[in-house]
Amino acid sequence: MILRKLAEAVRKQSWSTIVLEVLIVVVGIFFGLQVDAWNQNLKDRTAEAVYLERLRADTASNIAEVKDRAQTYYDRADSLKRIVEMLEARNAEEIGASDLAYTFCYWYVPEGVRLQTATYDEMTATGGLELIRSEDIRHKLQLALAENSRANDEIPKLASVQMDLARALRIFTEWHFDAPRQSIDEIESLVPIQAGCVVDQAALAADPGISSVLVQLNRSQTILGNVHSREKEALEELLLALDQVVAQ
C-alpha cells in the first residue's frame, strides 16, 4: 500500500507526499524495533530474576554444606586436643568414649565439598551469565568458585599427610561387629552399619610418642577447617551481594 503510494507520488513528482510516506515508514520501523527491544529486555530481566533467585538458593545450600564440613574438622581437632591434655595429665582412663571414637575410629580421608553449581553451569552453557547486570555478583561468583577449586586442590595433599600420621593410631584400635558405633559415622547409610571399634586406653597411655602424632593430626584437622571456612566466607560474600540485588 505504502509502496504503491510512493510509486504514484514519484510519477506525479509530489515530493511532499514522498517525504511524508518515507517518514511514516521510518517511524513505523523505529517503533517496531523499539517494541522488539522492549520485549527482549523484559524477557532478559525476567530470566535474570529467575537466575538470581536460583543462585541465591544454591549459594545458601552451599554455605550450609561447607559450614557443616568445617565444623566437623574443628570438632575433631578439639577432640584430639582434649585427648592430648588427658594423656599429658596422665588421665588416659578419663578420656571420653566419644572423643576416642571420633579420633581413633576415623579414616582421616577428607573429601572436598562438591558445590551446587547447576544454575551456574546452565548459565555458562546458554550465555545466561551475561544477563546478570551486577559486575559485583559476577566477580564474587567467580571468587567463590575459585576458592572451592583451591580447596579441592589442597585437600588431597592434606589427606596424604593425615593418612600417614593416622597409621600410628591403628595399633590402639580393634574392630568388632558388636563394638559401639558411637559418633564415628557422620552419614547415615542405607544399610545399617554394624561394626565399630574399641580403643586400648592402657596401651595409649603407655606410648610416649602418641601425643606428638595427635598434635599433628589436630593441626591438619584445623587446617582443613580453615580451608572450608575460607570457602564459606567467599560464599557468604556472594550471598550478601545476591540478597542486596534481589531486594531492589
- Domain range list for the chain: 2-247
User: What is the full per-residue pLDDT of the chain (248 aa) written as tens digits?
Assistant: 544 554 554 455 555 655 556 566 666 666 666 666 667 667 878 888 999 999 999 999 999 999 999 999 999 999 999 999 999 999 988 998 888 888 888 888 887 788 899 999 999 998 888 889 899 999 999 999 999 999 989 898 888 888 899 999 999 998 888 766 554 555 555 666 677 888 899 999 999 999 999 999 999 999 999 999 999 999 999 999 999 988 77
From the CB of residue 247, how many other CB atoms can be counted at a distance below 10 Å?
6
Burial of 3 (0-12, 13-18, 19+ CB in 10 A): exposed
Q: Are 86 and 94 in contact (CB under 8 A)?
A: yes
Q: How many CB atoms lie within 10 A of CB 248?
A: 5
- Which 3 state secondary structure label does DSSP give 189? coil
The sign one gets for the Cα dihedral 17, 22, 23, 25 is positive
In the numeric block, which cell numbers belong to residue 103?
A: 579420633
Closest C-alpha to 79, from 227, 194, 182, 209: 182
Amino acid at 91: N
Task: Look up the pTM and report it.
Answer: 0.79
90: left (phi over 0), alpha (psi -120 to 50) or beta: left
Query: What's the sign of the alpha-carbon dihedral 5, 10, 16, 21?
Result: positive
d(CA 148, CA 71): 17
Dmax of the chain from CA atoms? Answer: 116
Three cell numbers written together for 137: 555478583
Helix (H, G, I), strand (E, B) or coil at 248: coil
Select from 205, 184, 171, 202 the least CA-distant residue to 86: 205
